[in-house]
Amino acid sequence: MTTMIFVNFPVKDIGVATDFYLGLGYTKNDVFSDESTSSIVISDAIVIMLLQDEKFKGFVTKPLGDSEREVFGTFAISVDSREEVDSLTEKALATGATPNKEPIDMGFMYNRSFYDPDGHLIELVWMDPNASFDE
């Protein structure tokens, strides 16, 4: 069995959040979606579960944090090229994201980051598959 990763995000407006990720070119799995949940397929092994705040609260015992004011983690998604980092970031910014920092270019790795409409910090990263980390 393939190990999968499910990242769960609380969201204020399920429609806005869903449209944002669909606008980046990802797909929605309707089998695991309903009026308060969207299952966004990033790859065969990674799914972002968008859960309306009230539904998300049913899975946790602590109060929800304020992702508009605080960062709880960086969610990095790898892509196949530097150009794809730029293309997806520009799509994200055009569909409601806000920028985080200037691009980080280390030669063997390139990334850009932004906040989705709910304030979750997303990084798009490309790493040179031929880079050697032995040196």
* Domain boundaries, given as residue ranges, for the chain: 1-64, 67-135
CATH T-level topology, domain 1-64: 2,3-Dihydroxybiphenyl 1,2-Dioxygenase; domain 1 (3.10.180)
- Residue 22: exposed, middle, or buried by beta-carbon count in 10 A (0-12, 13-18, 19+)? middle
User: What pLDDT, on the 0 to 100 scale, is given for residue 132?
Assistant: 63
pLDDT score recorded for residue 133: 58
pLDDT score at 2 = 78
Task: Tell me if 1-64 shares its fold with 67-135.
Answer: yes
Q: What is the pLDDT of residue 78?
A: 92
Average pLDDT, the chain: 92
pTM value is: 0.85
Which token pair is 22? Answer: 């669909």
Nearest in space to 14 (alpha carbons), one of 48, 65, 58, 44: 48
Least confident of 53-62, 67-76, 106-115: 67-76
Specify the CATH number of the domain 67-135: 3.10.180.10
